Structure formats: structure tokens, C-alpha cells
Structure 1
Amino acid sequence: MSYNVVMMKVSTNGARGRDVRPVRTRLLEAAARLLADEGPRALTTRRLASEVGASTMVVYHHFGGMPELVHAVIAEGFARLAERMAAVPRTDDPVTDLGRLALAYRANARANPHLYAVMFGGVPPGGQAPPAAEPVASGAAFGAAAEAAARAMDAGRLRRDDPEHVSAQVWSAVHGLVMLELAGQLAGRAESVLISLLVNLSVGLGDAPDAAARSLRAALDAPAP
């Protein structure tokens, strides 16, 4: 089932607005919020159970322990990102598609800021290094970008290169902008800066300036997935 469906809040027994999402989903989001806002010391089974109105045994039932919980938070973040990226339709313009994928990446981060923070910068309990995302998780999220890059090369828009390498460059650039935006550093300018960034990156990768600008403006004008 799509996470967009289970994210819905519905009413039961006349209690409007009651959160009836699966407890696992609520635990993951509460854990991400605690880690992102208060740090690893705030993430205890007692505190987490209290956040969702459950017993501490529920935490162990769903995850086994805190390390497994943090890994599950990261996996959930990448699953939501992959779903958002997969919703971007493929068009006849691969550079537009790269732009739309970048915009989808930004939209996902804005919709899930706590999960995003833990995916790329959260520290699990005990001050250990954050667990690395499984390659399959990030691969599922960014396979479409590598495919669009390959099509752009086949169309003569970008210089021939390793599509995954190009995809990683786009990801790196967009991720930096998103981190600045979430930190409040690009208020009101993030979208225009992102498009300019992508135009400059595309030109650096071999595209013609006018063509890059047209394609990426089309990405911005397209309906959000």
C-alpha cells in the first residue's frame, strides 16, 4: 500500500482527526522527529512509546531494538523518496526529466524533513556513526535519474559519460541546495536557485545553454507528481 494512503488521518467512533495510521508508521515518524529535533539521547523506548500512545513492548515487537529501529527509519525515508521519484512520468525530453526528478527530490525532503534529516545526517543512539543506507535503497531512488542521464547522452544533449556518475553529480548538487533550504537559508529563492543550478550543471555536462534553459523551465512548469 502506498505510504500516501496510510498517512491519512480518518475519524473513528466520532473522533474526528484521530490518527489511525499503523503504529509502525507512527513509531518511525516519531523516532525520526526525536532524532532530528533533539538528538540521539531523546530516542528511548519509553519516550518513543509515549509519543505514539503505546507500550514499550510495541517498539520491541516491531523493530527488536534501537539499532534496528534507526535502520528502519532510514529505509522508510528512502522508500518514500523512491515512491516520489517513481511518480515522475518519462517524457521525450530527458533533460526535462532530470529536472523533474530533482524537483521531486526536493518535494520529498520538504514533505518528510525529519526522515530526510536522519537519512543523511542523523546519529543513532550511543553516538555511533549513522548506519549507511543500503545500496539497493538509494539505487531504487536514483535509478530513474541515471536512466534519464543515459537518454540525454543518447540524444546528444550531454557528453558521453557514466550515467550513474552524472546522476550522482545531480544528486550531490540538489542535496546541497535542499539542505540549505531546510536550514532556512534560501527562503523564497530555493526553486529559482535550483533551476539555475540545474541549467548550469547541464551546460557543464555538455548541453547547449538555450536548450538547457528551455528544458528545465519546462520541468518547473510541469504539474508536480
Structure 2
Amino acid sequence: MARRRYVEVPRSDTARAEAFSDGVLAIVITLLVLHLKPPPIASGGLLAQLLNQWPTYLAYVASYLYIAVVWLNHKAAFQRIKAMTRGLHWANLGVLFCTALLPWPTALVSEAIAEGNPPDDRVAVGLYALIGAMLWVSWMIFFHVLFRHPELLEDSVEETFFLGERLRAFAGALLYAAAGLVGVLTVPALALAIFVLLPLFYGLTSHGYAQLPVFGRRLPPKQ
């Protein structure tokens, strides 16, 4: 089926957006490791101190996986994009803005849970969930721009592909909000476990649900 005709708007290639995005994501994922600090060491107590830092390790893994999923989704999206507009550049910057916030709630969660103060634990987990949900909302905007402007896509990509991606991002925002609610109302550590599990699913579906064998055929990637 022939593509519809669209009003021409100024466009650019994707090279600079991809290079800039990769640089930002590399810096953000590196910042996470700065929160893995050596514990105070008492004679013969190093192992116990290291084990007591388990919230820090769990928060690090959750955020590392989340940023890895951002990179996988970003890479998969740009395999299908042939041109950029100003609106799409701003949508991409929105994704990077929210991603760059992740080291902050990661540090707060790890420190709050390590201190063992339940009210602070709940606030920190709620903030982490809020940032996580905001990131998926930024993906919704990014995918919405692509859905509204299929002329920016490679010819092999179906015009409705990013409608499904938009719904997937909406589900992600709801799931992070629900995980935060679980952490605030029950056990904060349970929310952390959910934060670790959610990126695993979204990593597997970074090319869309059709990439999973149970959902159908694979979509051809951009050469």
C-alpha cells in the first residue's frame, strides 16, 4: 500500500542524534557505579559490612538494567528511523533528560534502605518509581511523534508499528507507578525487586512484541 503524502518539514539525518544519545547514556550508566562505595571497616567485619550493603547492589542492578533497556529501545527505534525533525529531536532529548535523573533516586534508595528508616525508605522508593514512570512517559511522547509522522520511518516499517510501542511505553509507566505504590504501602524492598524484573521484560521486547516468538514473526531490522 502506497504511503500517504505529508507536508514537508525541515529534516536531518539521525547520525548526530544517535552519537549524542550514546554519549549521554554512557555517562549516565557510568555515574551509577560511583554509588558503590567501600563500607566502614571494623576489624574482622568486612564481610558483614559488605552484606549489609545489599540495598545498594540491588538499586545499582535495577538502574543499570533500566538504562541498558533505554539503550536497547533507543537502538531499536533508530534502526527504523531515516530522518529527524525538530519535534523528534526534542522528544529524544526528553528521553535523555529522564534517563539522566536515574542516578539520583538510585543513590537515595540505596542510602535510605541501608539506614533502615521505614518512612525514608518509602519516600525513596516512591521517588524512584516516579522517575521510572516519567521515563516511560517520555518514551510515549517519542513513539507518539513517530506514529504521527511515519514519513520519518524506513520504508520497510509499518506505519502503525510505533502505535504498539506507544502502548508498551504506557504499560511501563503504569507498572513502575504500581511498583512504587507497592513499596510505599507495603515493603520497599519488594518494590526494588520489581524494579529489577521490569527491565528484563522490556529488554526482551526492545524491538516490539513481534520479536518474541510467541507473538509472531520478526520484523526486519534496518540494514
Scaled by the length of structure 1, what TM-score is found?
Answer: 0.30
Scaled by the length of structure 2, what TM-score is found?
Answer: 0.30
